[in-house]
Amino acid sequence: MTCVDLTLQEAHEERLRLLLARTDGTEAAAYVLLGANKIARDPWTGRRRLRLVSHEVVPIFERDIISSDACHISWRTDGFIALIARAKREGLVPAIVHTHPSGAAGFSEQDDRNEPGLHQIVMNRNGPDMPLASLLLSGGTMWSGRVWMDRGAPIPFDHVSLVGRRFRQIRPAFSDGALDSTLDRQVRMFGPEANAVLRGLRVAVVGCGGTGSAVAMLLARLGVGGLVLLDKDIVEVSNLNRLHGATRVDADAMCAKADVVAASIASMGLGVRAVPICQWVDHPDARDALKACDVVFGCTDDHGGRMLLDRYARFYCVPVIDVGLAIEPRPEGGFAEMSARVTVLVDGAPCLVCRGVVDGRAAAEEALKRADPAEYDRRKREAYVRGGGDPAPAVVTCTTQAAAMAVDELLQGITDFRGEGGWAWNRVRRLDRGIERKPGAVQRAGCGICGDPMIVGRGDVEPFLDRVS
pLDDT at 379: 58
* Domain contains 165: no
- Same domain, yes or no, for 199 and 147? no
pLDDT for 289? 97
Does residue 169 sit within a domain?
no
Q: Tell me the average pLDDT of the chain.
A: 91
For the chain, what is the domain count? 2
- Report if residue 163 sits inside a domain: no
Residue 175 lies inside a defined structural domain of this protein? no
State residue 180's pLDDT score.
Answer: 67
Q: Are residue 244 and residue 137 in the same domain, yes or no? A: no
Asked whether residue 385 carries a pLDDT value surpassing 70, the answer given is no
Task: Provide the pLDDT for residue 177.
Answer: 43
The residue among 239, 207, 411 whose CA lies nearest residue 322 is 207
Q: Tell me: do 403 and 351 sit in the same domain.
A: yes
| Lowest-confidence segment of 102-116, 366-380, 398-412 by average pLDDT | 366-380
pLDDT at 349: 94
Q: Which of 110-119, 306-315, 442-451 has the lowest mean pLDDT?
A: 442-451
Q: Is a pLDDT exceeding 80 seen at residue 468?
A: no
pLDDT at 132: 98
In a domain, 369, yes or no: yes
352 assigned to some structural domain: yes
Answer yes or no: is pLDDT of 178 > 50.
Answer: no
Same domain, 49 and 93: yes
Q: Are residues 154 and 192 in the same domain?
A: no
> What's residue 322's pLDDT?
98
**Is 299:205 a contact under the CB 8 Å cutoff?**
yes
Cα separation, 143 vs 133, in Å, equals 13
Q: Please, which pLDDT band fits residue 253 given cuts at 50, 70 and 90?
A: very high
Domain that holds residue 455: 181-466
What CA–CA distance (Å, rounded) separates 383 from 375? 12
Residue 176's pLDDT band (cuts 50, 70, 90):
very low
Name the band, by pLDDT with cuts 50, 70 and 90, for residue 301. confident
Here the CATH number for the domain that contains residue 31 is 3.40.140.10
Separation CA 291–CA 318 (nearest Å):
9
Mark whether 154 and 185 lie in a shared domain.
no
Model confidence pLDDT, tens digit, residues 419-438: 999 999 999 999 999 999 99
At residue 36, the pLDDT reads 98
Long-range contact pairs involving 323-327 (C-beta distance under 8 Å, separation at least 24): 323/211, 323/215, 323/297, 323/298, 323/299, 323/402, 323/403, 323/405, 323/406, 324/357, 324/402, 325/211, 325/392, 325/394, 325/398, 325/399, 325/402, 327/392, 327/393, 327/394, 327/395, 327/398
Residue 303 inside a domain? The answer is: yes
Q: Are residues 151 and 203 in the same domain?
A: no
pLDDT for 375: 67
Judged against a pLDDT cut of 70, whether residue 368 lies above it is answered with: no
Burial of residue 389 (number of CB atoms within 10 Å: 0-12, 13-18, 19+): exposed
Q: Do 339 and 418 share a domain, yes or no?
A: yes
Task: State the pLDDT confidence band at 359, using cuts at 50, 70 and 90.
Answer: confident
Residue 382's pLDDT band (boundaries 50, 70, 90)?
A: low
Residue 46 falls inside a structural domain: yes
120-167 residue pLDDT tens = 999 999 999 999 999 999 877 789 999 999 878 999 999 999 999 999
Q: Which CATH number covers residue 253?
A: 3.40.50.720
Residues 185 and 154 in one domain: no
